[in-house]
Amino acid sequence: MQKDNVKINEEIKKSLKNWRQIVKRYQKPNWKKASIQLANSFLPYLALWVLMYFSMRWSIWITLLLGIVNAFFLVRIFIIQHDCGHQSFFKSKKLNNIVGFTCSFFSFIPYKYWAKIHNFHHGHSGQIETWDIGDIPTLTVKQYEEKTKWGKLAYRIWRNPLITFVVAPIYYMVVSNRFPTIKLKNWRNLITVQVRNNLAIAAVYLTLGYFLGWGRFLFIQFFIVFCFGIIAFWFFYVQHQHEQSYKQWKDNWDYVVAAIRGSSHYKLPKVFQWLSGNIGIHHIHHLSSLIPNYNLEKCMKENPILNKHVTVITFWKSLKLMSHKLWDEERQKMISFSEYAQMKMMKMA
C-alpha cells in the first residue's frame, strides 16, 4: 500500500509540474459572474428570511423547513465571503474586503480572522504538525496510542458524529470565532480587527432584534446559522477525511499532492453543487485558491489531468466517512476505531 502511494504521489508531481500554467487562466475574476452570484445568493436568502418571519404565525414546522433551505443559501453567501478572503471573488482587493466583511453579518463568522486561519490551512493542508489549525482535529495511530486513558476517551467523544457535526459547530460559532485562541504571524493587529468585526455583528444583531422582536429574530437567525454550521462542518470533513487521503509530516509533505490527494471531489447533484458554490470541487480549489468558485467547474472539465488521482465521493459514499477516526501512517489511510482494534489484536497474536 505504501509503495503504491509513493508511486502515485511521484506520478502526480511529475504530471503536474506545470500546474501553475494550467490554472492561471481560471484565476481571473469575472465581474458579471460575481454580480450574478451576489444577486442569486443574497436575494433568495433575504426573501426566505422574511418568509420565515411571517411563517412563525402560521406554523413553526414551516419556519424550520424554510430555515433548512435558507441555510444552503447562507452556504452560498459564506462561499462568497470565503472567496473574498482568498482575494479571488473580485479583482479589487478593496471590494473583496467590503463584500467579505458584509457577508460576515450573515454567516456570523468574522471575515479577516477566519480568512487568516483558512489561508494558513491552505498552505499547510495535510501537514500532521499543524492540522489542528483550520482543520478537523485528527490523531495518527501513534499519537492516539501515546494518549492517556482519559485522553483517548476525550478523543473518542470528540470523534462521535453527534459531537463532531452538532456540538462542535456550535462551539466553533460561539467560542472559536469570538475569541482569538490561535496565534499566527502578525497576529496582534488581527485581534483588533476580529474584535471590531464581532462588535459590528453584535451591533447589527442588537438593532435588528430591537426592531423585529428579540424572540423571532434570534430564533430565525440562529437556527439558520446552526444549520449552516452543520452543513459547513460536514463538507469540510468529507473533503479531507476520506480513506485514501494525504497526510504527512512537514519534511515529507508536498503541496501539489496534498491538494490532489488530500482533498476530495464531492460529486453532488447539480442543485446541491450550485447551493454549495462548487466547493465540492475541492482538489482544484486547494491547488489554487485564487480560482473563484464560479470558475472551478470549468477548470475541472477542461483539464482532465487534474482529476486523474482525486478521490471522487458521492453523497451516499460520504456517509461511510463518519467511521474514519485515525490516520494510519503505515498504510497511509484513514481507519475506524474497530479497524484499529483489529489491527491491535493482530499485532498481539
- The pLDDT assigned to 2 comes to 53
- The pLDDT assigned to 316 comes to 93
Say how far apart CA 80 and CA 40 lie, in whole Å.
Answer: 12
* Under-50 pLDDT residues of the chain: none
Q: Three-state SS for 333?
A: strand
Q: For residue 163, give the C-alpha cell.
A: 459531537
Say how far apart CA 130 and CA 43 lie, in whole Å.
Answer: 38
- The pLDDT assigned to 143 comes to 94
Residue with cell 454549495: 276
DSSP letter string over 35-74? HHHHHHHHHHHHHHHHHHHHHTTT-HHHHHHHHHHHHHHH
Residue type, 165: F
Residue with cell 467511521: 323
Say how far apart CA 42 and CA 73 lie, in whole Å.
Answer: 8
Question: What's the full length of the chain, in residues?
Answer: 349
Q: Which helix (DSSP H) or strand (DSSP E) does residue 311 occupy?
A: strand 311-313
Averaged pLDDT of the chain: 92
- The pLDDT assigned to 195 comes to 87
| Sheet of 139-140, strand order | 139-140, 326-328, 333-335
Say how far apart CA 140 and CA 330 lie, in whole Å.
Answer: 10
- The pLDDT assigned to 349 comes to 63
- The pLDDT assigned to 238 comes to 92
- The pLDDT assigned to 323 comes to 93
What secondary structure letter does DSSP report for 263? S
Express each pLDDT in 248-263 by its tens digit.
Answer: 999 999 999 999 999 9
- The pLDDT assigned to 237 comes to 93
- Please give the model's pTM, rounded to 2 decimal places: 0.93
Rg over CA atoms, the chain: 21
